[in-house]
Amino acid sequence: MTAHIHPSILSADFANFQSEFATISLADAIHVDVMDGHFVPNLTFGLPVVKRLVEISELPIDVHLMIENVDSLAVQYAETGAESVTFHQEASNNPLKLARELKASGARAAIAVKPGTNLDFVLDNLSEFDMVLVMTVEPGFGGQAFMDSMMEKVRQARSEITRLSLDVKLQVDGGIDTETVKIASAAGADTFVAGSSIFSKVHRNEEILLLREIADSAYQG
């Protein structure tokens, strides 16, 4: 496996995205958290900002929608040119229909689950998605502590992806650093969202390379 590292710009300098992107050029994609202040208590970026980020980024944009009304809004984010759009199972009335609409709009379709949501629906419908995101913190804020208890979900998802021989990425988001990336990779994750652990460093590309190296060494998929 080659681990995919997606720095979360929730930890970046919002006033200088273009220069911030230059410091993480060795990442695989840029993770953009869209929060509406309703589905989660925090408020971040909306559609116009995501459109602009797609324009200025040389890396693919991985959009994570933490919003209500996702069934009516998600496709607009796919139409920005974002490579991947993740929506929460908890926010959608028809996740399978939405996944198909995202794919038809040119984006990879990904589904996320909060820590309190079981994986039954996701596991029963894995082939409909290009990526599964297991949240390792409660969504809404950066800098939270990693929840080890979520690794059972990661193991379940990896086991089913392997059993079905699917090309489905398995992402974790929340509290990822050089210690926890090892735990998540050993459980079967292959894609890692990291915010403060990257943006707090002076040499961010070196941290990205280190995270990737540690994850690759620990992988147990």
Q: For 159-218, what is each residue's pLDDT tens digit?
A: 999 999 999 999 999 999 999 999 999 999 999 999 999 999 999 999 999 999 999 999
Among 33, 36, 130, 190, the active-site one is 33
pTM: 0.96
Helix axes 70-78, 95-104, angle to 10 degrees: 20
Q: Which helix (H) or strand (E) covers residue 87, if one does?
A: strand 84-88
Residue 13 known to be catalytic: no
pLDDT at 220: 79
Count Cβ atoms below 10 Å from residue 197 Cβ, excluding itself: 24
Domain boundaries, the chain: 4-215
Residue 62 known to be catalytic: no
Q: Is the pLDDT of residue 61 over 80?
A: yes
What is the homologous superfamily of the domain 4-215 according to CATH? Answer: Aldolase class I (3.20.20.70)
**Mean pLDDT over residues 97-117, rounded?**
98
Cα–Cα dist 218/21, whole Å: 27
Among 62, 173, 177, 190, the active-site one is 173
Give the largest Cα separation in the chain, rounded: 45
CA angle centred on 75, ends 44 and 162, rounded to 5°: 95
In the structure, what pLDDT confidence band is assigned to residue 1 with cuts at 50, 70 and 90?
confident
Q: What is the pLDDT of residues 137-175, one digit of tens each?
A: 998 776 788 999 999 999 999 999 999 999 999 999 999
